[in-house]
Amino acid sequence: MQKLDQLKALFAEMENALIAYSGGIDSTLVAKIAWDVLGDRAIAVTAESPSLLPEDLQDARIQAAEIGIAHQVVQTHEMENPNYSSNPVNRCYFCKSELHDTLKPMALRWGYPYVVDGVNADDLHDYRPGIQAAQERGARSPLAEVGVTKVEVREISKYLGLPWWDKPAQPCLSSRFPYGEEITIAKLQRVGRAETYLRKLGWRELRVRSEGNTARIEVLPDQVKAFVASTDLPALIATFQAYGFLYVTLDLEGYRSGKLNQVLQLETPKRRELNNL
């Protein structure tokens, strides 16, 4: 595979690399290739914070062990920054600033000249303010540099025999809240418990969006009817209310990636209208 060969060549040029490793399919592929090329000259580091599900951290540990790459966990403290917790539209900028301000000094101290992440080519076409923060701190994105798309990430992962090649995307829990709603640890834990509950019922690709005291469940569009038909709805409602939600709803449109950012597109003409008053 040509792009796989290009990725290997890129890491060979680096000689040493610290991987910003979330345990998602993108950064896990980067960690796998880095290990294959660099061996002990590569290390994967996962940032632990309230926005990361404990189950996702455990997955990251398991995957790193299976790959063979050295793995470290560090604490990040983005929740202490009001620029993050107030949840502005550029929230991710402050998250990635905290991450790379933590990883870069660590990498230099340990003798790794490069911090690399799992940003892929498709990410460059979405609203991702965190990418700017990473670039400002000198991070590199091998997948994006080579032009590897999300579909190709799964294809290469499958080609390399990684058993999690079809793992659903799992962005940080802060992405479950509408911009402008304050994020707290209690809210993150509430959403995390709700999504874990649904996954234990067998639903793989889903989101529980939190708006005030309302939980809005999103499953894949072709699974909406099956969800209603097969789920014990009274038990689900009781469980979510025990977690702290007052209301439990189902999004009839279903889950789709990037849904949180649609409000940014809707606001543009509204802002133009206001500016013309």
pLDDT tens-place string over residues 145-181:
999 999 999 999 999 999 999 999 888 999 999 999 9
Q: Is 239 in contact with 197 (CB distance < 8 Å)?
A: yes
Task: Confirm if 255 and 218 have CB atoms less than 8 A apart.
Answer: yes
Express each pLDDT in 237-249 by its tens digit.
999 999 999 999 9
Strands (E) in 21-144, as ranges, are: 42-48, 70-75, 115-116
Distance CA 18, CA 16 (A): 7
CA-CA distances (angstroms) from residue 50 to 14, 77, 231?
Answer: 32, 9, 29
Contact 32, 6 (CB under 8 A): no
Cα 68 to chain centroid, rounded = 22
Question: Which domains does the chain possess?
Answer: 2-159 (3.40.50.620), 173-262 (3.30.70)
What is the percent of the chain with per-residue pLDDT over 70, rounded to a whole number? 93
- Mean pLDDT to the nearest integer, 172-195: 96
Helix, strand, coil percentages for the chain (3-state, nearest 5): 55, 15, 30
pLDDT (average), residues 186-214: 96
Q: Would you say 13 and 95 are in contact if contact means Cβ atoms under 8 Å apart?
A: no
Q: What is the mean pLDDT of residues 87-92?
A: 96
